[in-house]
Amino acid sequence: MKTLKNWTLDTQSANHLELLVDNQHRLCLYVLEESLFRVLIKRKGELALDRTWSIAPEHDVPWEGRRRDDLSGFTCPVWTLTQQDETLTVATERLRVTVHQPLWLEWHYRNDAGEWQPLVNDRPTSAYLLNAHGDGVAHYLSRRKDERFYGLGEKAGDLQRNGKRYEMRNLDAMGYNAASTDPLYKHIPFTLTRRDDVSYGLFYDNLSSCWLDLGNEIDNYHTAYRRWQAEAGDIDYYIFTGSRVLDVTKAFVRLTGKTLFGPKWSLGYSGSTMHYTDAPDAQNQLMNFIRLCEEHAIPCDSFQLSSGYTSINGKRYVFNWNYDKVPQPKVMSQAFHDAGLKLAANIKPCLLQDHPRYSEVAESGLFIRDSETDAPERSSFWDDEGSHLDFTNPQTVQWWQNGVTTQLLEMGIDSTWNDNNEYEVWDGEARCFGFGKEIAIKHIRPVMPLLMMRASLEAQQRFAPEKRPYLISRSGCAGMQRYVQTWSGDNRTNWDTLRYNIRMGLGMSLSGLFNVGHDVGGFSGDKPDAELFVRWVQNGVMHPRFTIHSWNDDHTVNEPWMYPGVTPAIRGAVELRYRLLPYLYTLLWQAHADDEPMLRPTFLDHEHDVQTFEECDDFLLGRDLLVASVVEAGQRERRVWLPDNATGWYDFYTHAWYAGGQSIVLDAPLEKLPLLVRAGAGLPLSERINHVSAEKDNTRELKLFPVKGVGTTNGMLFEDDGESWGYQNGNALWVEWKMVCDGATINLKVNARGDYRPAWKALKVSLPVGEKRTLLVNGVEGGEWVL
């Protein structure tokens, strides 16, 4: 690669300037917000890809992508330019960059005292590199000892990424090692760097395969550095600052698009297994799941049909029903609906070469095309070869949406499960239609699953416009949160996976993917033993997505009742989740409306407590629930660090109070998940329900955990019908409360707004066992607030 060196200021506009580099390339520096800048390098004045699908600061991008010169959605504030002999400085009130000669950039931020402080800088020696005769690009930054690196989306291993090298190259990583396998399914080249004084985000808007080295590599000729390198495309990165880690995560979501607000039932338990749909009597197996849930009193809201329902001779063919296995899809769907359960169906974007409709699709030109011929590109897929659909072709989108509508939605399927969409097309020059402007697949592989899920979403919206859509996708890139819920793919069954999937989920959450979960019990390998299964379920119910799914090597099935001896413990964990659904649903609303992560590492709300940055198995669900999952065999006690806060923590079960900033040991019998509540919180709870139903969910409790002594805290509860768009027009209920505590009273002040009226008519307010202070609700002694 060739290092970019000498520059001159060439042009300047209201929102950016351009440098001419080495008399042929252009470095564009954009000022987008007070604390958000962008650097774009045009090789020989041209872009390898003139569009983006990840940047969506205002509304969704056009199908054909957002023009890279589109600055809509940004405030583009006033900035100053200062030029000296060998430097050039651009500054807003909060962020400043100095361009040095030869080319390297130095960034400063203004702290609360109004002083400029170092933020980060490029490596002064060889910061920007381009392949002279190819596509590769690279960017090097200096690396400080006091930096902690997080982010990168879905990655194995520890939550902190220091000292490691990662690759973004979406793969179907069946049975991966959750502690070490790389790469995995998703493409999110975003790093979040935390220092004691400031945090900052760095996002490379490049969709080709890339590598990020965060201290694994060293070179005697350069000071300590970090590196991003891509096999193709452009150097195009966004850098933004925040006082806290949370600020940076929220800023990244504002940059790439808001979280989809799915229906409430998507937070219920969702059953799934490859076994049922692979069985010759798949319909009977599926219908029996309904009966077994009722027999074992397991609350449930949906079931996900694995791809076996599409099979011909053991292989899978999208939009093809195997009527020998499932003779009456509509009858089956109706049975699930009658039981209060929804159905999601697995769909795949690759047609095997002997797919019944392959020739039709090929003749219509709907596949990605081979780089050297006009024939469809062929790649390995599910024990055969197949061709991938080209979602940059509007005719492909139309074909796909017709399949979703006629083969799924009209059959009674409620949702699409967009799977096996990593697009392992290794002919990098294979050609995509590109909405009329041909693009090589190497530039947009992760965009294909993004467009696939968008096509599915729009089909669902057109079919049922009055309902908010729910979709699932395994693969994708930054921005996929706009369309889907996701999960950590085909994990391997063992205790290490349980432990490291927690960290993987937190890494996704820090990277803007808030609505996440894991295959509970493990997808591949040996079946979990009874103890591991219980602990996995207990952990799983505390994630936004809760699905028990499996394809066990011994052909067993992970089901809530698979071990009769521990079924009561499984039932108890699932019932706990349903009791917490009002809290979870409020968190989903806040994720959508306020860009608040649902899963949170403990440091996210307690950065002043250095202990919270140590690798651990604890996490927060919202601000208020501290989850201490048991992830070791035989463990019946759980040591947990209580983050240092001003109010302390309550044991969820015993209501014992503990001061923060200490390590305690909690009892952890097999049937119990150690769980703590932040003092000052109020948890909205429901009574036992079998599935989400706005009509039947007719009780609501607000369980208060007041601060000791004097203090004021607040919170909220969100309610609506669980599936419509009514909230957009005020047809929802926002119950906001403030709890004022002193030595004698706990005064809860409740205020509600919105037109929606739920089935429950009164909010029962309760206090911890042993609380002696008088409870006042809006000034009146008692334990109820009437809506």
* Residues 217-268 pLDDT 10s: 999 999 999 999 999 999 999 999 999 999 999 999 999 999 999 999 999 9
How is residue 370 written in tokens? Answer: 């081979």
Q: How many domains does the chain have?
A: 3
pLDDT of 134: 78
Is residue 493 in some structural domain? no
Residues whose CB falls within 8 Å of the CB of residue 246, separated by 6 or more in sequence, listed in order: 597, 604, 605
Q: Write down the residue that tokens 């996490």 correspond to.
A: 619
Residue 322 covered by a domain: no
pLDDT of 357 reads 97
Other beta carbons within 10 angstroms of residue 138's beta carbon come to: 19
Enter the tokens of residue 741: 């505590």
In a domain, 318, yes or no: no
Dump pLDDT digits (tens) for 34-52: 999 999 999 999 999 999 9
DSSP 438: -
What percent of the chain shows pLDDT beyond 90?
A: 98
Instruction: Look at strands 270-273 and 545-548 and give their pairing.
Output: parallel
Do 182 and 150 fall into the same domain? yes
Closest residue by Cα to residue 671 from 563, 599, 558, 775: 563
Given a cut of 90, whether residue 132 has pLDDT beyond it is no
Which of 256, 277, 300 is the last residue in one of the domains? 256
Residue range 459-473, pLDDT digits in tens:
999 999 999 999 999
The predicted structure's pLDDT at residue 78: 97
The whole-number average pLDDT for the span 430-457 is 98
Instruction: Tell me, yes or no, whether 751 and 640 share the same domain.
Output: no
Strand partners, 12: 17
Strand order in the sheet with 733-741: 711-719, 733-741, 745-753, 774-777, 780-781
Q: What would the two tokens of residue 697 be?
A: 């969910």
CATH number where 702 lies:
2.60.40.1180
Phi-psi region of 348 (alpha: psi -120 to 50; beta: other; left: phi over 0): beta
Confidence (pLDDT) at 431: 98
Percent of the chain with pLDDT over 70: 100
Residues 674 and 699 in one domain: no
Task: Please answer whether residues 9 and 82 qualify as being in contact, where contact means their C-beta atoms are separated by less than 8 angstroms.
Answer: no
How many other β-carbons are positioned within 10 Å of the β-carbon of residue 331? 12
Q: How far is CA 154 from the centre of its chain?
A: 8
Domain that holds residue 42: 2-46+73-256
Q: How many CA atoms lie within 13 A of 436 on its CB side?
A: 4
Q: Decide if 725 is inside a domain.
A: yes
CA distance 659 to 668: 20
What is the pLDDT at residue 728? 97
CB atoms within 10 A of CB 786: 9
pLDDT digits (tens, 9 = 90+) for 496-524: 999 999 999 999 999 999 999 999 999 99
> What would the pLDDT profile of 623-638 be if each residue is shown by its tens digit?
999 999 999 999 999 9
Q: Is residue 505 part of a domain?
A: no
> Using CA atoms, how far apart are residues 671 and 467, in angstroms rounded to an integer?
37
DSSP 8-state secondary structure symbol assigned to residue 394:
H
pLDDT in tens, 154-198: 999 999 999 999 999 999 999 999 999 999 999 999 999 999 999
**Is there a single domain that holds both residue 15 and residue 161?**
yes
Looking up residue 239, the CATH number of its domain turns out to be 2.60.40.1760
Average pLDDT, the chain: 97
Question: Same domain for 656 and 755?
Answer: no
Query: What is the DSSP secondary structure assignment for residue 473, as one 8-state letter?
Result: E
Which ranges constitute the DSSP H helices of 511-566? 530-540
Confidence at residue 269, expressed as pLDDT on a 0 to 100 scale: 98
Name the pTM for this structure: 0.98
* Domain match, 670 and 714 both: no
pLDDT of residue 82: 97
Same structural domain for residues 79 and 108?
yes
Is 650 among the domain residues? yes
129 shares its domain with 245:
yes
In this predicted structure, the answer to whether residue 365 has a pLDDT above a threshold of 90 is: yes
Q: Is the pLDDT of residue 133 over 80?
A: no
Mean pLDDT of 297-315: 97
| 622 and 715 co-located in one domain | no
Please give the backbone phi and psi of residue 447, each rounded to the nearest 5 degrees, phi first: -75, -30
Rounded CA separation 424/198 (Å): 39
Residue-wise pLDDT tens digits, 414-426: 999 999 999 999 9
Q: Domain ends where: 610, 645, 678?
A: 678
Q: What is the model's pLDDT at position 459?
A: 98
Structure tokens at 209: 């395969």
Residue type at 435?
A: F
Q: What is the predicted pLDDT for the residue at 383?
A: 86
* Residue 488 is assigned to a structural domain of this protein: no
**What does the pLDDT look like over 62-89, one tens digit per residue?**
999 999 999 999 999 999 999 998 999 9
Does residue 25 surpass a pLDDT of 90?
yes
- Verify that 703 and 674 share a domain, yes or no: no
Specify the pLDDT at position 769: 95
Whether residues 659 and 705 fall in one domain: no
Q: Say if residue 87 is in the same domain as residue 233.
A: yes
DSSP string, 79-101: -EEEE-SSEEEEE-SSEEEEEET
Last residue of a domain, one of 622, 643, 678: 678
Provide the pLDDT for residue 332: 98
Tokens of 232: 């193709």
Give the Cα separation of 179 and 246 in Å (integer).
25
Give domain status of residue 664, yes or no. yes
Number of Cα atoms under 13 Å in the Cβ half of residue 605: 22
